[in-house]
Amino acid sequence: MNIITLGNELLRQKAAPIENLKNDLSQWNKIVQEMYEALKTGKGIGLAGPQIGLMQRIFVVHIDRDEPRAFINPSIIETSQETAKYEEGCLSVPGIWADVIRPKSIKVQAWNEKGRAFTLEAEGLLARVILHEYDHLEGVLFIDRLPEAKKKKVLEKIARLSEKTAKIKRIEA
């Protein structure tokens, strides 16, 4: 699985719900396992379908000291009013890190790769990663959550990094 990066229009599109999950469980289980592998290879802690060109409402997360988790057709049903700032990065926006304000805790409903519905209350890093990946399903990137002035600086840095990468590729060719 290749992780697509900023500039690919798929990252800005809303993902579609997965229909007939129970009829295609073995297929979705295989996709989830491949997503876990891509997550591990990319050294990330979350990966959503749109990041691999799969425009379906699915993401996986795996943070330290927690089990890997798959979320299929997730719904955020509750968020805390209390928020926290934390530095985020993204496999689809490589080399960029910025402080993002998000709710401290959430409640999410979803299905796992075995077709079982679950409700999860999460806080801290797990809540943040779930919200970050859920944003991908909505066509939203973490940089969209930044104040306008900070977002402008980040986009300028991305442009500089892209120019540098293009220059290196020309030299190598």
CA-CA-CA-CA torsion sign (162, 166, 167, 169) = positive
Which 3 state secondary structure label does DSSP give 106? strand
What distance in Å separates the CA atoms of residue 74 and residue 160, rounded to the nearest whole number?
36
Candidates 9, 19, 121, 133; catalytic one: 133
Q: Is 133 a catalytic residue?
A: yes
Closest CA to 29 of 115, 96, 148: 115
What distance in Å separates the CA atoms of residue 69 and residue 125, rounded to the nearest whole number?
14
CB burial class (10 A; 0-12, 13-18, 19+) of residue 34? middle
Measure the N-to-C terminal CA separation of the chain; round to a whole number of Å: 25
Which 3 state secondary structure label does DSSP give 129? helix
Active site residues: 133
